[in-house]
Structure 1
Amino acid sequence: MLTQLGGLRVERQPSDLYKALMTRGTFPILFITATRIGDAVLSSGLIRRLADEIPNARFTVVAGPVAAPLFVDMPALDEIIVFEKSKDGGHWFKLWRQVRRRKWGLVVDLRGSAISRFLSTKRRAVFRKALNGGPVHKVIEAARVLRIEDEPAAPYLYTSPETEMAAVEITAGEGPILALAPSANWVGKTWPVERFAQVGMQLLGEGGPLQGGRLMVLGGPEDAHIGQSLRDVVAKDRFIDVVGKVDLLTAYACLKHARLFIGNDSGLMHIAAAAGVPTVGLFGPSDDRLYGPWGVKARVVRGPRTLEQIVAVDPSFQQAVCHMMDLPVDTVVAAAKDLLAET
C-alpha cells in the first residue's frame, strides 16, 4: 500500500516513514498544532506515528497556552513554544524568529500558515482546507496532512510514570468509576448540571449498571461550582472531585481508570476518548461529523433537533442560550447503558 509524505511516495509499513526521512544523528521535527484543547488532542496521534516510525526524531511543539500542557510528558521533546495570539498579528513573526535559525528535518503545520514556506526544512506537511467534499472528521483531516488518511492516527497523549502514579493515587478505591464533565467553552453547548446529576444517580444508584460505584467529576479551575453541584449524587467516600485540581495530563491518566465517561462536546470529552474509556459525547450546536469523540468505544447523543435546526435559530452561535435543553435524561441514560453493555 502506497502513501505520500511531503510529496515523497513510500510503501506504508512500520519502518518506511523512518527510511524515507532517515538521517544521521537526530531528526528535528517542528510540529505546529492547535490553540484549542480538543483540536490539539484530535491531531495528537500524528506525533506518536512520527515518533514510532522515526526513532531518532526530536520534537519542538508549537501550541496555544491552554493546549501546550498536553505535550509536556513527551519523551522525545526538545521544546514547547507557547503560541499566544496578538492583536496586530505579530505572533507569527515572533514564532518565525524563534524557529528560523534551525535546520528542520520536517515541518508539520496543522495551522496551515505561511510560516513553513520560509523555514529551512527537508520536508513540509502543511494543512490545506479541502475545497470540495462533505464534512470530514478532524482526525481524518489531520491524517491528510501526512497523507495517511487510509490509516489515520488515533489521538494519543504521552504521560510520565509520575503522572500515572498520581492518577493511581487519586482514583484508588473500590467500585467502577463514572466520570462526568458537565462543562463546555460556551453555554450553548452545556447540558444542565442538574441533568448530569440525574444520570449519575440512575447509573450509580440501586439497580443501576454501576451500582455501588464512584463518581469522578472533571473540569477546569473556572468550573469549581460544578463539583459542589454533584456532591450529593453519591456518598462522600465515593466522590472524586478533580475539578480545577489536576492538570490535563493527570486528568487523562485518571480517565484511564474510569468505566464510563459522559460529557459535553469539549476538550475533556476528546481527552476521555483518547484515554480509551467508553465515552458518551453530548452534542447540540456543534457538528459531531467533525468533532465526535473518536474511537470504537465512543458514542454521540443528540436531542430531537438536528444541527441544521439549531443553526436556523442561532446562525452565528452568539446567543447566550443553552441549545441542549431538548436532550432528555432518559436518552443519555439509555445510551450509557447500551455502551456499558457493549464494552
Structure 2
Amino acid sequence: MRLLFITSNRLGDAVLSTSVLRHFIETRPELRITVACGPVAAPIFEAVPNLERIITMPKQKRGGHWWHLWKSVVSTWWDVIIDLRGSATAFVLPGRKRIVLSGNDDSLHRVEQLGRLIGVLPPLMPHIWVGPDNVAEANTLLPAAPRPVLAIGPTANWPGKMWPVERFVDLVKQLRAPDGVLPNAHVLIAGAPNERDAAMPVIECVAETERTVLFGEHSLLTVQACLARASLYVGNDSGLMHMSAAAAVPTLGLFGPSRVENYGPFGEMTAYVRTDRNYDEIWSTANYRAQDSEMYDLAVEKVISAASELLRREGN
C-alpha cells in the first residue's frame, strides 16, 4: 500500500506539514511513502519510516514541475494521495483516497488547519525523523552533556524578518554571562548556506572552541539532531525555528512582519515575542523588496525576559 505526500517548496511549511505525515505513519504503518516537495525541503524527509522515494520539484516554467511529477507517479496505484499545495494533481492520478488542501485559513495556525484537513484534533506535533548516523554526528559537533547548548538562528529568508544582528550579539553575551540563564553555554549558530555572511557578527562574538557553526556543512538531519540537544533556541521566524520546535526543545521565535497566529513556533515548549508594532502597523509602511530589518523595535531586554520565562516554565 502506498501514500503520495505532496508538500511545500519552503522549509518552514514543509516542517509544519510533517504533522500530517506523522499521523499516517503512526496509524497506517503498512503504507510505503513517496514524498514530493521542493529541493530545499527534501532533506528533512530522508529518514521518514517506510520511505520509498523523494521526488524533488524545482520550479520550472509553465508549471513544468507538475508535469514532471505526474509522469513520475502516474503508473502507480496510490492508496492515499495527500496534496498540501492545492494542485489538480491528486485528481488526475490513480488512487483510492485523496486529501487536498484548497487554501490557507488565516484564522488558524497552519498546523491546526492541517489537523482539521485530516480530521485529527488536536493536531499532532510536527516531527522530523533522524537516523542514528545523524545523532552520532551531532554528538561529535557538540560538547557532552550536561553542558547547556544555546542555539541561535540569526537569519531568515527576507531581511525584514531578521532582528538586527548586533542585538543577537548582545543577547548571546547576556544569556551566557555568569548571571545569565545559560551561563557558559556552548553556542550553536545555524542557517542556510547563503546566510553565513549575515550571521558573521554572531559567529565571531563567540570563541571558536565555544561554538558550533552550521551553514550547509552538514545535512539538515544532522542540524536537526543538533537542535534536539539544545537547552534553548532563539531565532527569527524561519524554517530553522520550526525545526527547533519540532525537536521539542524550548523554542523562542522572534516576530515582526509575519503572522504569529499562523506561523508561530508550534508546541508546548514554545513561545514567541514580537516587535512593539503589530503586523498591520508594520505592513502599513513595509516594502517586501526592501533590505532593511522591520524588527528594530524589539528590545534585547524583552527577548531575554521571554527566554527566561520560557525556561522557567519548562523547569530548566
After TM superposition, the score normalised by the length of structure 2 is: 0.95
Residue by residue over 1:221-253, the C-alpha shift from the partner in whole angstroms, topping out at 9 and shown as x without a partner, is: 112225532245444322122233222111111
SS in 2 for 1:43: helix
**Does the Cα contact within 8 Å between 1:29 and 1:107 map onto a contact in 2?**
yes
Among 262, 287, 292, the alignment partner of 1:321 is: 292
Distance 1:184 1:134, change over 3 A: closer
What residue is the counterpart of 1:126 in the other structure?
A: 100
**Are 2:309 and 1:338 aligned?**
yes
Q: Partner amino acid for 1:253?
A: A
Runs of 4+, deviation exceeding 3 Å: 231-236
Percentage identity across aligned positions?
39
SS in 1 for 2:261: helix
What residue is the counterpart of 1:6 in the other structure?
A: none
* Residues in 2 aligned to 1:122 and 1:59: alpha-carbon distance in whole angstroms: 15
Return 5+ residue gaps in structure 2 as ranges: none
Among 27, 40, 43, the alignment partner of 1:69 is: 43
Q: Partner amino acid for 1:205?
A: A
* Residues in 2 aligned to 1:258 and 1:76: alpha-carbon distance in whole angstroms: 28
Residue by residue over 1:285-337, the C-alpha shift from the partner in whole angstroms, topping out at 9 and shown as x without a partner, is: 100110000011111111110101011112x6332221011111111111111
**Are 2:192 and 1:220 aligned?**
yes
SS in 2 for 1:207: coil
**Are 2:222 and 1:250 aligned?**
yes
* Residues in 2 aligned to 1:146 and 1:85: alpha-carbon distance in whole angstroms: 27
What residue is the counterpart of 1:32 in the other structure?
A: 6
SS in 1 for 2:178: coil
**Does the Cα contact within 8 Å between 1:227 and 1:241 map onto a contact in 2?**
no
What residue is the counterpart of 1:169 in the other structure?
A: 140
In the alignment of these two chains, the number of paired residues is 313
* Residues in 1 aligned to 2:295 and 2:236: alpha-carbon distance in whole angstroms: 10
Rg comparison, structure with higher value? 1
Return 5+ residue gaps in structure 1 as ranges: 1-26
**How far off is 1:48 after superposition?**
1.6
SS in 1 for 2:163: coil
Q: Partner amino acid for 2:8?
A: A
Distance 1:94 1:116, change over 3 A: same
After TM superposition, the score normalised by the length of structure 1 is: 0.88
**Does the Cα contact within 8 Å between 1:223 and 1:244 map onto a contact in 2?**
no
Among 56, 73, 78, the alignment partner of 1:82 is: 56
RMSD: 1.5
Moved more, 224-233 or 100-109: 224-233
**Does the Cα contact within 8 Å between 2:78 and 2:94 map onto a contact in 1?**
yes
